[in-house]
Structure 1
Amino acid sequence: MAFWQITRLRVVYPVLLVLLLFVDGALMAGMGGIFTAFPWHVLPVTTLIWLFYGVQFDVEADLPFWLYTVLVGILFDMYYTGIFGTYTVAFVAATALMKQLKRVLDERLLSGATIFLIGLVVYLLITYFAGFVIGIANVSVATFLLYEVLPTVILNTIIATVGYYPVWSLFQFLR
């Protein structure tokens, strides 16, 4: 593999990761009225989707994937919440679980969607639990699962599924 090919992936992956960090906020700001229409609360998590693609298409061999995961979690905490650690732990735990599930499941679309689904639910549960401990999550678990987790899982699984093959092709081109 030529040096310029390794460099392309090393540059493109983290740049898109940081860009998607801001896309999450832009989507929520621009479409907040739709995403938070009572009683639903949908969270776009394109950053986690990009980390999922990194796990699914094995970018860890080409770049410091875990460092990027921790850094994007810290940036997410600093930029969006101001509470250090919640999203850092959520990103690392969800990504680690997706990495472990990747060992069992293969690279087919349905297996990938299952891996992402489980990682997303873990991510949402960690952020809910942290909010509950801090005192900012004041809804029951059933309400949280029905009105936040379910619509968030539907939206983000569709986004991850639609982008699956184009991102796979992009990674093949960058390698």
Structure 2
Amino acid sequence: MRNDNQHRTNFFLRPNVFYPLSLFFFLFFDGSLTNIFANYFSFFNIQIIPNLLLVTIFFLIHFECFKRFRFWTWLILCGLFFDLYYTESVGIYLTAFLLSAYSIRYLDQRLPYGIFPSTITLLCSQLIFSFVSLAASTVAGLGGIDIFAFTILSLLPSLVFNILIELIFYRPIESLTYIINN
């Protein structure tokens, strides 16, 4: 007789399959969502940028799912795909994702476990991601923008939107990762 704890019946719910697939799903879903709902995410010169891939990275690190598969390898691959698919250059978002993931890991170890300290962690990682990608894009000559306009018109609305996503999905994803990891 088979022990269900050792042999899962569903191949896609194995951590080493589900988590990399979720990274790549949100890599492409994020861009598709932004393209499809571009009119709804920008109004009165305010632009909301949903960063669901970064929120997914946050959840994978926060709920310690990164220990169940080769997280850093898959993160590098996602960063490379993101760069090649969206910017056609290599390094900008790869660096931003790696630094953000490291900041999530660093802060997550030092803050107490809970939904509100995790919000601070996500906030800090999104700030790092946004400013690293902005600085790298400016240095690479892919775009230049006034830092004040960027902060008020894009960064703050995006932070609020992504934190709302984190607050809404925190408990369901916590339960899902508990099921998958055990």
TM-score over 0.5 (shorter chain): yes
Q: Which residue number corresponds to residue 70 of structure 1?
A: 76
Q: Distance in 2 between matches of 1:91 and 1:21?
A: 12
Is 1:167 the counterpart of 2:173? The answer is yes
The one-letter code matched in structure 2 to 1:125 is F
Q: Give the superposition deviation at 1:160.
A: 1.2
Q: Give the superposition deviation at 1:3.
A: 5.2
Alignment RMSD (CA, Å)? 1.6
Per-residue deviation, residues 70-108 of structure 1 (Å, max 9, x unmatched): 111011111111011111000000000110001111220
Tell which deviates more after alignment, 132-141 or 150-159: 132-141
**DSSP-derived class of the 2:119 partner:** helix
Q: Give the superposition deviation at 1:166.
A: 0.6
Q: Which residue number corresponds to residue 36 of structure 1?
A: 42
Per-residue deviation, residues 19-41 of structure 1 (Å, max 9, x unmatched): 11111111111110122324112
Q: Distance in 2 between matches of 1:169 and 1:88?
A: 29
Q: Which residue number corresponds to residue 29 of structure 2?
A: 23
Q: Distance in 1 between matches of 2:52 and 2:34?
A: 11
**DSSP-derived class of the 2:17 partner:** helix
Tell which deviates more after alignment, 2-11 or 143-152: 2-11
The one-letter code matched in structure 1 to 2:126 is L
Q: Distance in 1 between matches of 2:23 and 2:174?
A: 15
Q: From 114, 131, 149, give the equivalent of 2:137.
A: 131
Q: Which residue number corresponds to residue 112 of structure 2?
A: 106
Q: Which residue number corresponds to residue 8 of structure 2?
A: 4
Per-residue deviation, residues 92-139 of structure 1 (Å, max 9, x unmatched): 000001100011112200011110110011000011101211223322
Q: Distance in 2 between matches of 1:3 and 1:88?
A: 35
Q: Which runs of 5+ in 2 are unaligned?
A: none
Q: Distance in 2 between matches of 1:16 and 1:109?
A: 21
Q: Give the superposition deviation at 1:140.
A: 1.3
Runs of 4+ in 1 over 3 A off after TM superposition: 3-7
Q: Which residue number corresponds to residue 95 of structure 1?
A: 101
Is 1:51 the counterpart of 2:41? The answer is no
Tell which deviates more after alignment, 125-134 or 5-14: 5-14
Q: TM-score, normalised on structure 2?
A: 0.91
Q: Distance in 2 between matches of 1:83 and 1:48?
A: 19
**DSSP-derived class of the 2:43 partner:** coil
Q: Distance in 2 between matches of 1:11 and 1:2?
A: 16
Q: Which runs of 5+ in 1 are unaligned?
A: none
Q: Which has the larger radius of gyration?
A: 2
